[in-house]
């Protein structure tokens, strides 16, 4: 009978179940003496009477107690109470390797790190005379402290061999409750057969080399996310293990190091004599691959198995050493001169154009310099990721990446990450579907480190967050500095040590922007250089940045985090994304450079008007860097956030729609964004960081008279201002500054005491609210389903909510008569939803996509507005520079420095 919460086993109080298997049940418990959480494994009473089961349970206790290793789960205690035998073990937070592999193969650096940790743990066990015999992904736990080897329930002493006959029976966990035979009984397979060695299946004597075989099967699965031996039945799997060879790792993962393929192959040899003889040999191989990088070749021969083979191996090694020495000497004598600079162009595919900066991000070279990824858009406004191998004249679209933005590479050049549909996604370039990593509402760039950590900017007005590439809970990496009036942290890039990274801090103060260095281990960021655009690290020890349209290079020591010497020009007329302050160039680790030529206005937009079919019907003003646009109640004016190209500081401007002329509304040295008109057109609410450097809610007269009035004065972050149609309330989303807080919807009365109050709150993020014209309904966005969706609920009255969007959506807006609701989908479509109101009830009618939008750089607001009659839409859209221009490609750019 399972234990319930509150049950006590000695000083241990059960708090919940963790899992169960053939050999026991595992519970989470609290050690009341030491005040720590532990894991308790119990032997069920209906099995305790079986001698072989009890023998195995005791064997696990003895095996684990003899091992003390950082990557082996620690045994704290052994106990017996009321007929229940139990083990008290270290409680581990994380996920099993088996669970992780459900999301796809591991990147090479992560694979090697985990494999080295497990091999080291196995070596410790083998040196203590303990053989695991049930090594599999399900018995490996991935934690923040590294991998942990679990479940020595089948372990045996290497000095007391066990003989098992035959190979067709179930595993021990399947037979345990029905057979009184001892553990070494005839006809019983001990272990999980998918990972068992041939000698185990054939009932032969087993030793440490059986663990080597199982380790090879696990290694294969880590690299490919597929089992080395598969079949439709138990018999077919066993037959595959006995006689088949798995498909080569490099067939399934072409970019896997050749040396890894060789290690897996030798571990999986059918004959134990042909296998790596010790896990120590395997450990050395893996460390060598890790030190040699992703292009490591086949490792040198290891010590052979028998004396005659040993002589042959050493003789061959000596011969190869002589040959290698001669070849090395010859290479040195005829070492090639440095290659000259090669400058060429890369054009987009026919019918496609590059998207530079803005909401899409610039093209990015892979770290190994072999490929280029970019967001390509067709004539219909549809965009997706494309990959162009530099050795090929064609580009290939990556299926399933529609609407992808801001792509970036993994450190080993085998995977891509990008933002799309409210999530951070990753995809293997060798094939396979995109995989969600984390919910990120409006990410604007990132970096992927060697240890599998991804850092990025989750919204256009935030610091950096971090998350494991395998998924998990995001965590804060950097915090905006209010004294410097920082707007955001963008363009992160890992430095060679894998812990430190660069990022660009954009400030509302003219001289406050600059490139900083920080560490994943914490600490105050260090200013590296001031500048109007981000600086990026490039081998061999330089920072590259754009200054007045010229790409510059300056010496940089990544160890001391310091610059030296003067900057040297590399190329003229290099584009800059004015919204994020990042140069439109990309560099690889081997001297390849690519950049957008001829533009310093990256990120500019046009204020375009569309009808319901998506046909452009008008344009207001001239191109610029725009934030949200809001139509006045009369329809003849437009309030927008517009960034000054000199100071790069956004302010609120008012356009006369008919004449296209504009008047500046806000004059503060702080930023002002996301304007929204009051129902009578006399006031405008907006966000500004003029109060202690953080974005807060203000309002001022729309004719420019008087000063801005603060509406909220607290330490929380306010967003999404929205007026009620009667003008009585100003709604906004509010998020506390503490960890684990969620966005809530609040309102501030505009008469009386003006005391803010909560409208909606919960365990999820609630924001982007919009009140219906009759004041009865509130449309808003919640991520309670795991992604942002649009809902409608009664406003300030009881009642349930209704789901509006079908597959994700944000920024709902009402038509003036309340009979239609609009929102923006994740793939940038404007969606129409019919609303039918009957008394106190509201019915969601037909949901219909209207047209594909092309909103400009990630502004803070909705980035669209709809006219009162629902027939016209205004959208600050991608600028005129997004045309089918080619990229400049420079091979061996460091040689340009020698020409100066």
For 622-647, the pLDDT digits (tens) are 888 888 899 999 999 999 988 876 66
- Measure the CA–CA gap between 452 and 440, rounded to whole angstroms: 18
CA–CA distance, 347 with 335 (Å, rounded to integer)? 34
Q: How far apart, in whole angstroms, are the C-alpha atoms of residue 16 and residue 1?
A: 14
Q: Is 98 helix (H, G, I), strand (E, B) or coil?
A: helix
449 in Cβ contact with 367 (< 8 Å)? no
| pLDDT confidence of residue 3 | 81
Q: Which of these, 26, 133, 11, lies nearest to 79 by C-alpha position?
A: 11
Buried b (16+ CB within 10 A) or exposed e, 286-316: beebbeeebebeebeebebbeeeeeeebeee
Question: Do 172 and 181 form a contact (C-beta atoms < 8 A)?
Answer: no
Strand ordering across the sheet containing 683-691: 672-677, 683-691, 694-701, 709-710
What Å distances lie between residue 665 and 21, 169, 631, 857, CA to CA? Answer: 68, 81, 15, 22
CA–CA separation, 672 vs 664, rounded Å?
Answer: 11
Does the N-terminal peptide bond of residue 540 adopt cis geometry, omega within 30 degrees of 0? Answer: yes
Structure tokens at 155: 């372990």
Residue 118: CA count within 13 A, CB half-sphere: 29
Which of helix, strand or coil describes residue 260?
Answer: helix
Largest CA distance in the chain: 97
The gap from C-alpha 742 to its chain's centroid, in whole angstroms, comes to: 20
CB of 801 closer than 8 Å to CB of 762: no
Cα(456)–Cα(477) distance, integer angstroms: 9
Contacts 24+ apart (CB under 8 A), 471-480: 471/103, 471/436, 471/437, 471/438, 472/438, 473/438, 474/438, 474/440, 476/739, 477/518, 477/520, 478/503, 478/518, 478/525, 480/505, 480/693
Between helices 208-224 and 279-292, what is the axis angle to 10°? 30
Structure-token pair, residue 449? 């480190």
If you search the block for the tokens 């502004």, which residue do you land on?
859
Helices 279-292 and 108-127, packing angle to 10 deg:
150
Q: Are strands 156-157 and 130-131 parallel, antiparallel or unpaired?
A: antiparallel
* Residue 839 falls in which region: left (phi positive, over 0), alpha (psi -120 to 50) or beta: left
User: Which residue bears the tokens 């914490």?
Assistant: 522
Strand residues in 742-784 grouped as ranges (E): 744-749, 757-760, 766-771, 777-782
- CA 410 and chain centroid, separation: 10
Dihedral sign of CA atoms 289, 293, 294, 296 in order: negative
* Structural Rg of the chain based on CA atoms: 32
State the residue for tokens 């060879």. Answer: 245
φ/ψ of 403, rounded to 5, equals: 75, 10
Write down the catalytic residue from 134, 211, 627, 783. 134
Question: What is the torsional sign of CA 610, 616, 621, 622?
Answer: positive
Structure tokens given for 322: 């002589």
Question: How far does Cα 269 stand from its chain's mean position?
Answer: 37
- Cβ neighbours, 10 Å, residue 182: 14
Q: Are 256 and 285 in contact (CB under 8 A)?
A: no
Asked if 607 and 876 touch (Cβ cutoff 8 Å), the reply is yes
Is 279 in contact with 215 (CB distance < 8 Å)? yes
- In angstroms, the CA 212 to CA 123 distance is 10
Regions in the chain scoring below 70 on pLDDT:
1, 20-24, 44-66, 152-192, 254-255, 292-339, 357-359, 379-381, 441, 508-511, 578-580, 598-603, 645-648, 691-694, 737-740, 856-861, 878-884, 899-900
3-state secondary structure of 193: helix
- Overall size of the chain counted in residues: 900
**Dihedral sign computed on CA atoms, order 611, 617, 618, 623:** positive
pLDDT score at 884: 53
Q: How far is CA 68 from CA 72, 73, 494, 701, 843, in A?
A: 7, 9, 35, 71, 64
Where helices occur in 572-727 by DSSP H, the ranges are none
Q: CB neighbours (10 Å) of residue 621?
A: 19
The full 3-state SS of 356-413, as one line of letters, equals: CCCCCCCCEECCCCCEEEEEEECCCCCEEEEEEECCCCCEEECCCCCCCEEEEECCCC
Residues 642 and 663: their CA atoms lie apart, in Å, by: 11
> From start to end of 23-171, where are the E strands?
24-31, 36-43, 75-81, 84-90, 95-96, 130-131, 140-143, 146-149, 156-157
Handedness of CA 612, 816, 829, 841 (dihedral sign): negative
**Using an 8 Å Cβ cutoff, are 122 and 69 in contact?**
no
Other beta carbons within 10 Å of 417: 24
| Rounded-to-integer distance, Cα 775 and Cα 162, Å | 78
Is 497 a residue of the active site? no
Residues 6+ apart with CB under 8 A from 310: 303, 304
pLDDT of res. 145: 80
**What does DSSP assign to residue 240?**
H
Distance CA 627, CA 861 (A): 7
Beta strands in 548-604 (DSSP E): 550-557, 562-571, 576-577, 582-583, 585-587, 592-595
């Amino acid at each position: 009978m399972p234990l319930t919460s509150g049950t006590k086993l000695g000083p241990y109080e059960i708090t919940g179940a963790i899992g169960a298997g053939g050999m026991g049940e595992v519970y989470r418990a609290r050690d009341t003496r030491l005040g720590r959480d532990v894991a308790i494994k119990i032997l069920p009473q209906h099995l305790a009477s079986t001698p072989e089961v009890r023998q195995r349970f005791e064997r696990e206790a003895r095996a684990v107690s003899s091992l003390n290793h950082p990557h082996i789960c620690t045994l704290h205690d052994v106990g017996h109470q009321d007929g229940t035998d139990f083990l008290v073990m270290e409680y581990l937070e994380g996920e099993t390797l088996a669970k992780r592999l459900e999301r796809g193969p591991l990147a090479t650096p992560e694979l090697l790190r985990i494999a080295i940790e497990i091999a080291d743990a196995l070596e410790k066990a083998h040196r203590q005379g303990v053989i695991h015999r049930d090594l599999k992904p399900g018995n490996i736990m991935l934690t923040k402290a590294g991998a942990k080897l679990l479940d020595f329930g089948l372990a045996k002493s290497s000095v007391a061999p066990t003989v098992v006959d035959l190979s067709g029976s179930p595993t021990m966990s399947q037979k345990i409750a029905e057979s009184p035979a001892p553990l070494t009984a005839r006809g019983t397979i001990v272990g999980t057969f998918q990972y068992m060695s041939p000698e185990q299946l054939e009932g032969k004597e087993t030793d440490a080399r059986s663990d080597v075989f199982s380790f090879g099967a696990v290694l294969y699965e880590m690299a490919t996310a597929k089992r080395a031996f598969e079949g439709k039945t138990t018999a077919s799997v066993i037959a595959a293990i006995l006689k088949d060879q798995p498909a080569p790792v490099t067939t399934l993962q072409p970019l896997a190091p050749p040396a890894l393929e060789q290690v897996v192959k030798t571990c999986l040899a059918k004959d134990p004599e042909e296998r790596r003889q010790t896990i120590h040999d395997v450990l050395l191989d893996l460390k060598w691959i890790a030190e040699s990088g992703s292009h490591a070749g086949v490792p040198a021969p290891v010590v052979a198995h028998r004396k005659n083979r040993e002589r042959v191996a050493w003789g061959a090694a000596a011969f190869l050493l002589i040959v290698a020495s001669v070849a090395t000497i010859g290479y040195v004598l005829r070492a090639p001169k440095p290659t000259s600079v090669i400058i060429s162009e890369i054009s987009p595919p026919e019918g496609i154009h590059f998207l530079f900066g803005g909401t899409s991000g610039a093209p990015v070279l892979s770290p190994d310099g072999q490929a280029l990824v970019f967001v390509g858009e067709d004539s219909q406004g549809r965009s997706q990721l494309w990959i162009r191998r530099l050795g090929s004249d064609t580009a290939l679209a990556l299926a399933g990446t529609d609407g992808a933005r801001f792509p970036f590479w993994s450190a080993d050049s085998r995977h891509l990450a990008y933002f799309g549909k409210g999530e951070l996604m990753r995809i293997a370039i060798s094939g396979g579907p995109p995989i969600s990593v984390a919910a990120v509402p409006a990410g604007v760039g990132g970096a992927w480190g060697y240890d599998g950590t991804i850092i990025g900017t989750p919204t256009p007005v935030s610091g950096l967050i971090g998350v494991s590439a395998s998924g998990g809970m995001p965590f804060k990496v950097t915090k905006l500095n209010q004294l410097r009036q920082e707007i955001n942290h963008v363009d992160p890039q890992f430095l060679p040590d894998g812990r430190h990274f660069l990022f660009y801090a954009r400030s509302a103060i003219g001289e406050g922007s600059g490139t900083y260095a920080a560490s994943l281990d914490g600490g105050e960021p260090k200013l590296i250089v001031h500048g109007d655009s981000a600086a990026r690290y490039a081998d061999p020890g330089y920072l590259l940045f754009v200054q007045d349209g010229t790409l510059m290079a300056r010496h940089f020591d990544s160890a001391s985090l310091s610059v030296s010497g003067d900057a040297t020009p590399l190329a003229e007329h290099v584009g800059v994304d004015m919204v994020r302050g990042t140069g439109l160039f990309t560099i690889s680790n081997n001297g390849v450079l690519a950049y957008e030529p001829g533009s310093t206005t990256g990120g500019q937009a046009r204020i375009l008007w569309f009808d319901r079919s998506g046909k452009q019907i008008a344009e207001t003003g001239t191109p610029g860097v725009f934030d949200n646009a809001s139509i006045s109640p009369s329809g003849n004016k437009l309030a927008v956030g517009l960034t000054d190209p000199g100071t790069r500081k956004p302010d609120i401007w008012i356009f006369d729609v008919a004449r296209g002329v504009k008047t500046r509304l806000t004059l503060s040295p702080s930023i002002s964004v996301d304007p929204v008109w009051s129902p009578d057109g006399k006031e405008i609410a907006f966000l500004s960081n003029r109060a202690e450097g953080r974005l807060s809610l203000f309002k001022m007269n729309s004719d420019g008279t008087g000063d801005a009035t603060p509406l909220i004065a607290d330490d929380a972050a306010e967003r999404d201002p929205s007026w009620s149609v009667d003008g009585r309330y100003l709604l906004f989303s509010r998020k506390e500054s503490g960890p684990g807080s969620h966005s809530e919807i609040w309102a501030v009365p505009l008469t009386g005491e003006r005391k803010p109050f909560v409208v909606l709150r919960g365990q999820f993020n609630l924001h982007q609210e919009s009140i219906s014209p009759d004041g009865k309904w509130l449309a808003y966005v919640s991520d309670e389903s795991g992604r942002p969706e649009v809902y409608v609920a009664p406003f300030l009255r009881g009642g349930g909510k209704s789901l509006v969007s079908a597959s994700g959506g944000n920024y709902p807006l009402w038509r003036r008569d309340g009979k239609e609701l609009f929102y923006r989908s994740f793939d940038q479509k404007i969606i129409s939803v019919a609303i039918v109101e009957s008394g106190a009830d509201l019915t969601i009618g037909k949901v219909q996509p209207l047209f594909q939008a092309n909103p400009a750089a990630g502004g803070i607001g909705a980035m669209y507005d709809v006219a009162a009659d629902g027939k016209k839409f205004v959208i600050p859209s991608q600028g005129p520079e997004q045309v089918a221009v080619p990229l400049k490609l420079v091979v061996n750019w460091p040689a340009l420095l020698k020409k100066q």
